[in-house]
Amino acid sequence: MTRATRSYFALGTRVTLTVEHPRPEAQLARGAALIRDYENRLSANLPSSEIARINQMAGVQPVAVDPVVYRLVREAVLVSRSRAGFNAAIGPLVQLWRIGFEDAQIPERTAIDSCRELSDPDRIELDDAHSSVFLGRPGMKLDLGAIAKGWIADAIKQVWQAEGVPSGVIDLGGNVLTLGTAPHADRRWRVGVQAPFAQRGRPLGVLSLPACSVVTSGVYERVLEVDGRRYHHMLDPLTGHPFDTDLASVTIVAASSMTADLWATIAQRDGLAGGYEAVSAERGLEAVFVATDGRIVATDGCRSILSVR
């Protein structure tokens, strides 16, 4: 077996793939091809993507998409209807604020209210028989940014496992998914928990884990600063404004990277107390919370495997 690593820019972030295999370069190429293909299909910012085509036909007609893309959209819409904090129909608000882009702005209240009305997941019609999606009002927009990277990581893992990859790491810039056993004496993976507001790659602690997914999301990643006030990119679909939270970051541990990705957003909405309670009540989830005042709080399953630096 040979271990090899490839690192490059994709999905708006630094991607690093590591694989152990008799032909590791071929598996790295497979992973890179999947990332490129799914980014071209799922990005709301590429006019030719399948998500963009759905958005372009909002209020006009349903759009049939690839069944694989449809499954992701369907999952995202069903979760959105639970009003738990994730909303796949939040595209109008994302495009209004534009946080993370050069033309970011603080919108007028009337514009925010208009976009909130266009962010109703109940107005999305799903047709399982034809793999089609219809956004019921003109101006509605899907945005899968809070779920797509996790879904892509899971897809790469599935392909690698089918190819007999015994060990590997899929790191999609804050979304880390490991498979197999690690090259350490105890066979456990070491995954860092990013220190909020510090240089990327500088952890506040390290988790020692079997194969799983670790996803970190925080209010420090993309911000708009106006008159000394910072506005982060995680928007609350209920208010139309960035989440009002006492959390700097949430790190979720789960078997599925898509699940971890979703919950890294959901757990932010209700702050430290509410997020801790919600994650603790969910089977198969663990978390590390970092509050804006510097407190580090871990759920029971993470407490014994987190080494704080």
| Residue 78 pLDDT | 96
pLDDT at 228 over 90: no
**Residue 45 banded pLDDT, cuts 50, 70, 90:** confident
Res 199: pLDDT: 74
Determine the pLDDT at residue 286. 98
Higher pLDDT, 232 or 29: 29
Measured in degrees and rounded to the nearest 5, phi and psi for residue 15 equal -105, 135
The pLDDT of 135-156, averaged and rounded, is 96
- Burial (Cβ within 10 Å: 0-12, 13-18, ≥19) of residue 1: exposed
Q: How far apart are CA 249 and CA 220, in angstroms?
A: 8
pLDDT > 90? residue 104 = yes
Percent of the chain with pLDDT over 70: 100
pLDDT digits (tens, 9 = 90+) for 237-295: 889 999 889 999 999 999 999 999 999 999 988 899 999 999 999 999 999 999 999 99
pLDDT category at 220 given cuts 50, 70, 90 is: confident
Residues with Cβ < 8 Å from 98, sequence gap 6 or more? Answer: 104, 105
Query: What single string gives the DSSP state of each residue in 194-211?
Result: EPTTSPTT-EEEEEEESS
**179-218 residue pLDDT tens:** 999 999 999 999 999 888 777 778 899 999 999 999 999 8
Q: What percent of the chain shows pLDDT beyond 90?
A: 82
Backbone dihedral angles phi then psi of residue 145, each to the nearest 5 degrees? -60, -25
Split at pLDDT 50, 70, 90, the class of 90 is very high
By the 8 A CB rule, do 235 and 265 touch? no
Q: What is the pLDDT of residue 200?
A: 75
Angle at 115 between CA 109 and CA 121, to 5 degrees: 140
pTM (whole model) above 0.75: yes
Q: Would the pLDDT of 12 be above 90?
A: no
